[in-house]
Every structure is written in structure tokens, then in C-alpha cells.
């Protein structure tokens, strides 16, 4: 019997599998994450940890768990909260949930794009405030989706899935990524361009990069101010890919018409944050992967990989550098 600590309850019944395999499973029952001291305490002596993106998974946590720690299964595709090097040094296998959440995240990115361009949240506020007195030819005009140019920054699985949706709206697709993706270019009719060109030409820019040192505040003041006049920024990647103060400036005094954000810096975004006072900023609380079936499947993936590692087998979804 091995012990596994799970830092939040998971949808579906996958955790039963761990019980059935004879493991002792301790699930943090509260909605908010375990406080750091509690996390360190709970980790003591475990063989497996199932973690979320808000948990700081570092050397201190691994050492608190001790030498019996075999696997850390991250319930997310992003691993920016996990010190992969520290895990490698300690011989701890790290796994995550790639692929399964691609479509759900691309769906939400597109929903944010449509909502920001066509002013859905602003229109809803307008109606709720009782301002809807008449139909008017000039009421809440926004950029057209069809025929627009969209720039996809980061052209991995999620970026390509987003582009596929944009294609259905007859958009011209530009993309920026370190490596060209000829197959996806052919399938999606996408053009590989430099970031400066993408920002200057795109009506909508959607971010799909992981958070790594090279993408930290990639969208800084200079890049945001170089975006096309009247354009819209969508971020479903990580909040820290964008400089929040510069984003506010670009919305208030710069070229941006609107922004659709599923992630933010800080995250969570406090209710009195200036971004929320801007009428054309649409924010959702990091729910890109929150398709009901997707979240159940993510739970199956982390549990199956914990079971594999604890029984001496290779995991199906190892983190690349672990």
C-alpha cells in the first residue's frame, strides 16, 4: 500500500481506482488550495502527489515528501508551477495531461474572441443596467469575425485547434512559432510570419504558448503598442505571458479595442482590479479546460499514470524533460 495526496477533489470516479489498487488516498476536501504549510505536512511520506497549477511543486515539497516520492501527476498540461529539474534530480517522475484539453481550450479561446469582438458581455451589462431603450444603427458596433486576419502566437496543439476554428469563420491565419509547421500550414492555410509582422497585421491575436523564460511578458509594452489599431488580444495560455500594466495602457491609450482573458497576472484577478473596470475586457476564471468530459478524462489520465509509476511501469504522459 502506498500513500497518495491529491490537492483538490477531482471530477468523476477515477480516484476509486487508486483505492481499488490498495493505495491510501488523501484528498484535500476544500475548494481553496491547501495552505503551503498544510501541503508540506500532507506530503510527508507519500509516494504520489496529484497537483494543480496553483500548487508550488518545488524541491521543498519533494523533500517534505521524502525519498519514497515516486510520482507527481499534474492535473494540467502546463507545468510552469513544477520544478522539473528538482524532480529529475530526485528521480521523481512527473506526468501531466496533454492533448485531452486541446479542443476545450481552443473552444474557450474562440468564445472569448467572439464575445470580445461582438461585445457580448458589454451588451449584457447594458441590458441589465436598464439602458436598452431602443434599437439603433450605431449601438455596440464591433469588428467582424468573418474575413478578419487572426494571429496565433504559439502553434502547438491548442494554437492549431484555435486556427481550425478561425478557418471556419473564413479568417486569414498568421502564426508565429519558433519552428515552422508545414503540415499544419497546409491543412489550415496558415502563414508563418515573424512576431512583429503578426502583431502589425492581425485583427485578433490569440496566445497559445507555454509559460517559459522566453515567453515571460512576451506581450510587453512595446509589442502591445505595435498591435494593429482596433485589434483584440485573447489569452488562454498563462497570465504572465502578458504585461498587465502595459495591457491596460494599450487598451486605454493604445491600439487595443478589447481583450478576452481566461488567465491573468495576478491570478486570481481581484474584483477591484482596473482591468475589470474596462468595458471591453472579458475575463473568465481560468476555465479553458473546463469541459465536463475533459475534466473527467484529465482525472483518468493522472490516476492511470500514478498507478503505472507506483507499479513500476512507464507513465503514458510523462513531462518531456522529466
Which residue number has the CB closest to ligand DGY? 78
Annotate each residue in 231-270 with x if it binds ligand DGY (CB under 6 A) or - if it does not, as one string: ----------------------------------------
Binds ligand DGY (CB under 6 A): choice among 15, 71, 76, 224 = 76
53 part of the interface to ligand DGY, by CB under 6 A:
yes
The DSSP-derived string for 116-152 is HHTTHHHHHHHHHTT------TTTT----STT-EEEE
Phi/psi at 223 (nearest 5 deg)?
Answer: -70, -40
Q: How far is the CB of 134 from ligand DGY (least distance, A)?
A: 42
Q: How many CB atoms lie within 10 A of CB 188?
A: 20
Judged by beta carbon, residue 53 or residue 256, the one nearer ligand DGY is 53
Nearest distance in Å: CB 289, ligand DGY: 3
Is residue 113 within 8 Å of 232, Cβ to Cβ? yes
Cβ contacts of 309-317, under 8 Å, gap ≥ 24:
309/48, 309/70, 309/71, 309/93, 309/95, 310/2, 310/4, 310/21, 310/23, 310/47, 310/48, 310/70, 310/71, 311/21, 315/71, 315/73, 315/93, 315/95, 316/95, 317/95, 317/96, 317/97, 317/98
267 is a catalytic site residue: yes
Range in contact with ligand DGY (rule: CB under 6 A) among 70-78, 184-192, 227-235, 253-261: 70-78
Per the annotation, the verdict on 286 as an active-site residue is: yes
Quote the cell numbers at residue 88: 529529475
Catalytic pick among 8, 208, 238, 295? 238
**Number of residues located near ligand DGY, criterion CB under 6 A:** 7
Quote the least distance from Cβ 80 to ligand DGY, whole Å. Answer: 8
Among 289, 306, 307, 322, binds ligand DGY (CB under 6 A): 289
Provide, for the chain, the percentages of residues in helix, strand and coil under a 3-state DSSP scheme, each rounded to the nearest 5: 40, 15, 45
Q: Is 211 in the site for ligand DGY (CB under 6 A)?
A: no
Is 288 a residue that touches ligand DGY (CB under 6 A)?
yes
144 is catalytic: no
Nearest-approach distance from CB 27 to ligand DGY, in angstroms: 18
What does the binding site for ligand DGY look like in residue numbers (CB under 6 A)?
Answer: 53, 76-78, 101, 288-289
Catalytic residues: 238, 267, 286
Amino acid at each position: 500500500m502506498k500513500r497518495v495526496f491529491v490537492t483538490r477533489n477531482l471530477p468523476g470516479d477515477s480516484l476509486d481506482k487508486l483505492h481499488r489498487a490498495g493505495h491510501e488516498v488523501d484528498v484535500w476536501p476544500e475548494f481553496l488550495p491547501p495552505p503551503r504549510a498544510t501541503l508540506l505536512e500532507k506530503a510527508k511520506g507519500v509516494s504520489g502527489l496529484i497537483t494543480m497549477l496553483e500548487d508550488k511543486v518545488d524541491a521543498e515539497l519533494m523533500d517534505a515528501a521524502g525519498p519514497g516520492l515516486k510520482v507527481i501527476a499534474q492535473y494540467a498540461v502546463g507545468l510552469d508551477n513544477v520544478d522539473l529539474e528538482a524532480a529529475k534530480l530526485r528521480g521523481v517522475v512527473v506526468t501531466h495531461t496533454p492533448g485531452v484539453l486541446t479542443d476545450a481550450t481552443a473552444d474557450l479561446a474562440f468564445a472569448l474572441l467572439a464575445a470580445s469582438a461582438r461585445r457580448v458581455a458589454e451588451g449584457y451589462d447594458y441590458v441589465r443596467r436598464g439602458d436598452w431603450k431602443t434599437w439603433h444603427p450605431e449601438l455596440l458596433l464591433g469588428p467582424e469575425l468573418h474575413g478578419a486576419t487572426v494571429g496565433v502566437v504559439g502553434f502547438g496543439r491548442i494554437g492549431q485547434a484555435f486556427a481550425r476554428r478561425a478557418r471556419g469563420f473564413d479568417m486569414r491565419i498568421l502564426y508565429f512559432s519558433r519552428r515552422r509547421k508545414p503540415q499544419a500550414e497546409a491543412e489550415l492555410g496558415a502563414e508563418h510570419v515573424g512576431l512583429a509582422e503578426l502583431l502589425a497585421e492581425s485583427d485578433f491575436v490569440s496566445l497559445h504558448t507555454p509559460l517559459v523564460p522566453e515567453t515571460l511578458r512576451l506581450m510587453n509594452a512595446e509589442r502591445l503598442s505595435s498591435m494593429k489599431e482596433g485589434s483584440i488580444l485573447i489569452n488562454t495560455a498563462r497570465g504572465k505571458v502578458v504585461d498587465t500594466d502595459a495591457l491596460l495602457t494599450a487598451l486605454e491609450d493604445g491600439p487595443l479595442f478589447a481583450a478576452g482573458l481566461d488567465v491573468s497576472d495576478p491570478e486570481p484577478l481581484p474584483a477591484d482590479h482596473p482591468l475589470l473596470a474596462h468595458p471591453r475586457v472579458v475575463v473568465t476564471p481560468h476555465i479553458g479546460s473546463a469541459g465536463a468530459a475533459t475534466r473527467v478524462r484529465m482525472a483518468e489520465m493522472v490516476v492511470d499514470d500514478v498507478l503505472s509509476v507506483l507499479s513500476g511501469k512507464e507513465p503514458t504522459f510523462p513531462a518531456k524533460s522529466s
